[in-house]
Amino acid sequence: MKIQVVRATMPYNPKIGTPITALDTPSMVVDLSLMESNIDKLFSHLLTTGIRIRPHLKTTKSVALARKLVAAGATGGCVAKLSEAEVFTDQGFTDLLITTVVVGKVKVGRLVELWKRNREVRIVVDSEAGIRGIEEGMKEAGVQEGKIMTLLDLDVGLHRTGCQPGEEALRLARLVRQSGYLELIGVQGYEGHLQHVHSKSERRERCLEAMSILTKTAEALREDGHAIRVVTTGGTGTAEFCVTVPGVTEVQPGSFLFMDTDYRNAVGTHYSNSLTILATVISKQGPKCVTIDAGLKSLTTDSGLAECKTPGYTYGVLGDEHGSLSWTDAPDLEIGDRVEMIPSHIDPTINLHDSYYAHRDGIVEEIWSVDARGKVQ
């Protein structure tokens, strides 16, 4: 039997100039003025310190936004995964650090293919098995010349990836030096466990301790004859402290661009919540309770529940596609009303959507695609 593909006669295709009131929902919308102010705040402060900013693009997964950050002064970008690096490279954005170790035959095969067409890509390693695996992959692919720019990933307290400082770091660095396929250019140590520490003084103090592990290791490697020129670290919650440490050369903040309620609750409102999920009230379930069209497939809940941008309403999850808003004192919501929801965790929420609708004063000015959406490999 032949299957006939029926196409919609009126495809939904909002254009620049559309008011956000005319967008279908749920839609991911960005307030451009707030986003630009976040960029300005971070770059105007950090760049004066002489540090390089390599923003983490796992947050936006968007090439257009990566280019905006470079225009603001960024040096390339970080990606979390190899498949994200493939997407960015294919669109001509090539100055990339993959911040997660590349492990396993399949992944290494993809890395070698990527490196053949993007010699600017940087990787991290944290084990002998990982180093050997990449060497094998390069050998099997018959690579004759060139080395992959490599950073040693160091555990500075997060206990996620990273080798231990001291002997282990020295041993692995020597292995990289002996390798015909890898060139050691630096160290990475990400203090992810400190990003959301609420007390600023405690966050600062613990960050400086982590930075001391990182910069001392970089020094020890230099004394052992390695040309360590990159010392990379930091996120939205700690970058301001990392840049004060002599020896740190680069920071990797990502979430500052849009923020989320989790980050706001932890580090305050220096950066604004510039991204919201626009939703519609589709049913009334009581005098002070409505159902909106945004549930688990529009807003993630790993870091708590999203918040309505207008104060006074409490959000609840009603499954994949629905959520509730209830209130006691706020103005009544009615069927057809629209609300903006602030995500609780920005990175996985963005990964649920295809496009950003960026508006100024309610008029869509730019539309960006979430190019690396779903790229988790």
CA–CA separation, 349 vs 292, rounded Å?
Answer: 17
Residue 253's binding partner among ligand PLP, Mn ion, none (Cβ under 5 to 8 angstroms by kind) is ligand PLP
- Whose CA is closest to 118, among 145, 88, 144? 88
Q: Give me the least distance between CB of 158 and ligand PLP, in Å please.
A: 9
CB atoms under 10 Å from CB of 104, counted, come to: 12
For residue 349, count CB atoms less than 10 angstroms from its CB and return exposed for 0-12, middle for 13-18, buried for 19 or more: buried
**262 belongs to the binding site for Mn ion (CB under 5 A):** no
**255 belongs to the binding site for ligand PLP (CB under 6 A):** yes
Sign of the four-CA dihedral 137, 138, 139, 141: positive
**217 belongs to the binding site for ligand PLP (CB under 6 A):** no
CB atoms under 10 Å from CB of 28, counted, come to: 23
Instruction: Name residues contacting ligand PLP, limited to 223-242 (CB under 6 A).
Output: 235-236
Site string for ligand PLP, 137-176 (x = CB under 6 A): ----------------------------------------
Q: Considering only 99-107, 113-121, 216-224, 341-349, which stretch makes contact with Mn ion by CB under 5 A?
A: 341-349
Q: Give me the least distance between CB of 303 and Mn ion, in Å please.
A: 8
CA–CA separation, 54 vs 236, rounded Å?
Answer: 12
Q: What residues does 187 pair with on adjacent strands?
A: 152, 231
**344 belongs to the binding site for ligand PLP (CB under 6 A):** no
**59 belongs to the binding site for ligand PLP (CB under 6 A):** yes
**260 belongs to the binding site for Mn ion (CB under 5 A):** no
The residue type of 217 is T
Structure tokens at 355: 């496009």
Instruction: Name residues contacting ligand PLP, limited to 192-211 (CB under 6 A).
Output: 192, 195
**347 belongs to the binding site for Mn ion (CB under 5 A):** yes
Chain positions contacting Mn ion, by CB under 5 A: 347
